[in-house]
């Protein structure tokens, strides 16, 4: 359902939360952030303002709260990564495959992807699944100019043998099949809405087996629930980056499944505080209740709102624009529109995250970023769609040809082109009445485009920080 909260997000929290220090996480100094974006010995890059790229929140039970010393990956350490796969003139396509296309030998298989209400024991209907075509178009925009290509063969699910409990994965062009393990959902009738799960590892093995010779990477989509190990309750996505394959499931983003997981259950963990509402100062404060309060000295931050520094008043910067759009859309949203739109936006973010692992990108510890690790559905909703400056630098390097350009663009021109392409894609989604979650993205992109066109794309250095809480 639409968020019940009337929170207006009147103040943004763009630094780490009060809980971060208690958890043992220390946000890197500006000089460290600057150095992480370059391979040069002399630091020449300046860092962006937090009104464009905020710090990670590090709320209680977030990934960085649990593992605050997770090793950071700078641009230099990414370039030195032995497992990283370069894009070549031969391997330059992103293949995608929808699993399954046909399952005539295992008729129960398709029903496993339909949620079951634990109370009524009946199938949950009424909200159509997102179209994978929309996800593919999002990824085509995100990773432009790489081409996304549908896997050319039909994928089939069948029984491994008449006496086996396993299933078999195969394609119309392959001579052999890969065994697919399944299991009943382990997380109990009150918290699970899927009767069965598929082995994520078996699907990844299948992807490696069928990986085309001209593929840079292959992503597998499924509406089925997944698990990785016997200890897992479920798994949404996973990448074998060195093997150039990944898989993404939409199952736990189903509105009914999210409801059981507690998304939208109240005003402090609900959908009103998904990104960018996750940076609401009141929300952050209440999420950190019980954490050690920072001293008054630590709460003070150097301030400047000088338009000569920012190029804008703070209200016109990307994060302020995004939160204004977020407040506006939550006041007029329709129930069916909310479910369809949020479901699609969740999948798009996760799909880009897993594909970026195939480019060698590790989890981000520097900024709020699409490459942050997540430990729960709730944390997942708080992550942004964009790449931070450090991870963006890695993707630029990956996409660049021998001449250092990305297609016909220089690396300096690429971000502006990326923002414009993403804005066009999101605008098309909004025009189809699938707007929730997308209007704040458009607003952020428009703010970022103005910064880049105005030459203030990286304004805000150690000497001139902007006011944040």
Q: Are residues 299 and 447 in the same domain?
A: yes
**Strand 147-150 vs strand 178-180: parallel, antiparallel, or unpaired?**
unpaired
88 belongs to a structural domain: no
| Residue 464 or 140, more confident | 140
Question: pLDDT per residue over 87-139, tens digit each?
Answer: 999 999 999 999 876 666 666 788 888 888 777 777 777 667 788 999 999 99
462 belongs to a structural domain: no
When divided into structural domains, the chain yields a total of: 2
Q: Are residues 313 and 379 in the same domain?
A: yes
Q: Which pLDDT value is given to residue 382?
A: 93
Q: Mean pLDDT, to the nearest integer, of 304-325? A: 64
407 belongs to a structural domain: yes
To which H or E segment does residue 132 belong?
A: helix 132-142
Q: Are residues 281 and 360 in the same domain?
A: yes
Is it the case that residue 312 has pLDDT exceeding 80? no
Q: Which pLDDT value is given to residue 165?
A: 75
Q: Are residues 354 and 416 in the same domain?
A: yes
Q: Are residues 236 and 311 in the same domain?
A: no
Which CATH number characterizes residue 185's domain?
Answer: 3.40.390
Q: Are residues 360 and 386 in the same domain?
A: yes
Tokens of 444: 């952020």
Question: pLDDT per residue over 58-88, tens digit each?
Answer: 999 999 999 999 999 999 999 999 989 999 9
pTM for the full model? 0.88
Q: Which pLDDT value is given to residue 144?
A: 95
Q: Are residues 446 and 343 in the same domain?
A: yes
> How much of the chain exceeds pLDDT 70, in percent?
80
What is the spatial distance between Cα 67 and Cα 73, in angstroms, rounded to a whole number?
A: 15
| Domain limit, last residue, from 193, 226, 256 | 256
What is the spatial distance between Cα 305 and Cα 292, in angstroms, rounded to a whole number?
A: 30
Q: Are residues 207 and 245 in the same domain?
A: yes
458 belongs to a structural domain: no
402 belongs to a structural domain: yes
29 belongs to a structural domain: yes
Cα–Cα–Cα angle for 13, 17, 394, nearest 5°?
85
Q: Which pLDDT value is given to residue 313?
A: 54
What is the spatial distance between Cα 105 and Cα 166, in angstroms, rounded to a whole number?
A: 12
Q: Mean pLDDT, to the nearest integer, of 336-346? A: 75
Alpha carbon of 415 to those of 54, 104, 143, 411: distances in Å?
Answer: 18, 46, 11, 7
Q: Are residues 423 and 292 in the same domain?
A: yes
Q: Which of 23-37, 280-294, 396-410 has the lowest mean pLDDT?
A: 280-294
Q: Are residues 252 and 325 in the same domain?
A: no
Q: Are residues 408 and 437 in the same domain?
A: yes
Is it the case that residue 256 has pLDDT exceeding 90? no
| Domain limit, last residue, from 256, 286, 315 | 256
What is the spatial distance between Cα 142 and Cα 125, in angstroms, rounded to a whole number?
A: 31
Residue 347 is part of which domain span?
Answer: 18-81+268-453
Q: Which pLDDT value is given to residue 331?
A: 60
237 belongs to a structural domain: yes
Question: pLDDT per residue over 24-58, tens digit each?
Answer: 999 999 999 999 999 887 766 678 899 999 999 99
Is it the case that residue 4 has pLDDT exceeding 90? no
213 belongs to a structural domain: yes
Is it the case that residue 362 has pLDDT exceeding 80? yes
Q: Are residues 44 and 175 in the same domain?
A: no
């Amino acid at each position: 359902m639409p968020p019940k909260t009337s929170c207006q997000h009147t103040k943004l929290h763009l630094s780490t939360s009060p809980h971060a220090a208690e958890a043992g996480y220390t946000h890197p100094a500006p000089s460290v952030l600057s150095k992480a974006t370059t391979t040069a010995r002399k630091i020449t890059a300046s860092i962006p303002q937090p009104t464009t790229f905020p710090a990670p929140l590090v709320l209680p039970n977030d990934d960085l709260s649990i593992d605050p010393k997770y090793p950071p990956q700078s641009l230099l350490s990414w370039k030195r990564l032995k497992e990283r796969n370069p894009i070549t003139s031969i391997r330059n396509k992103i293949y995608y495959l929808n699993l399954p296309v046909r399952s005539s030998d295992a008729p129960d298989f398709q029903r496993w992807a339909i949620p079951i209400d634990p109370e009524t024991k009946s199938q949950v209907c009424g909200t159509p699944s997102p179209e994978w075509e929309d996800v593919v178009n999002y990824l085509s925009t995100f990773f432009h100019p790489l081409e996304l290509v549908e896997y050319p063969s039909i994928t089939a699910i069948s029984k491994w043998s008449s006496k086996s409990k396993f299933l078999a994965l195969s394609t119309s062009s392959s001579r052999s099949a890969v065994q697919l393990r399944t299991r009943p959902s382990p997380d109990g009738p009150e918290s699970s809405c899927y009767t069965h799960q598929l082995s994520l590892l078996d699907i990844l093995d299948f992807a490696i087996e069928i990986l085309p010779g001209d593929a840079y990477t292959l992503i597998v989509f499924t509406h089925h629930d997944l698990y990785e190990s016997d200890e897992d309750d479920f798994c949404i996505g996973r990448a074998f980056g060195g093997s150039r394959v990944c898989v993404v499931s939409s199952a736990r983003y189903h509105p009914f499944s999210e409801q059981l997981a507690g998304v939208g259950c109240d005003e402090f963990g609900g959908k009103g505080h998904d990104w960018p509402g996750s940076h609401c100062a009141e929300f952050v404060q209440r999420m950190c209740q019980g954490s050690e309060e920072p001293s008054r000295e630590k709460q003070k931050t150097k301030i400047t709102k000088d338009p000569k520094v920012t190029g804008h008043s703070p209200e016109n910067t990307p994060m302020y624009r995004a939160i204004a759009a977020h407040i506006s859309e939550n006041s007029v949203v329709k129930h069916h529109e909310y479910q369809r739109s949020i479901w699609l936006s969740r999948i798009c973010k996760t799909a880009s995250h897993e594909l970026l692992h195939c480019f060698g990108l590790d989890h981000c510890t520097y900024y709020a970023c699409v490459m942050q690790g997540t430990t729960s559905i709730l944390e997942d909703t708080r992550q942004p769609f964009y790449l931070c400056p450090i991870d963006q630098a890695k993707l630029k390097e990956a996409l660049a040809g021998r001449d250092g350009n990305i297609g016909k663009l220089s690396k300096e021109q690429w971000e502006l082109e990326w923002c414009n392409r993403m804005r066009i894609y999101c605008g098309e989604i909004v025009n189809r009445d699938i707007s929730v979650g997308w209007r704040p993205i458009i607003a952020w992109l428009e703010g970022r485009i103005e910064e880049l066109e105005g030459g203030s794309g990286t304004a805000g250095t150690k000497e001139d920080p902007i006011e944040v809480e």
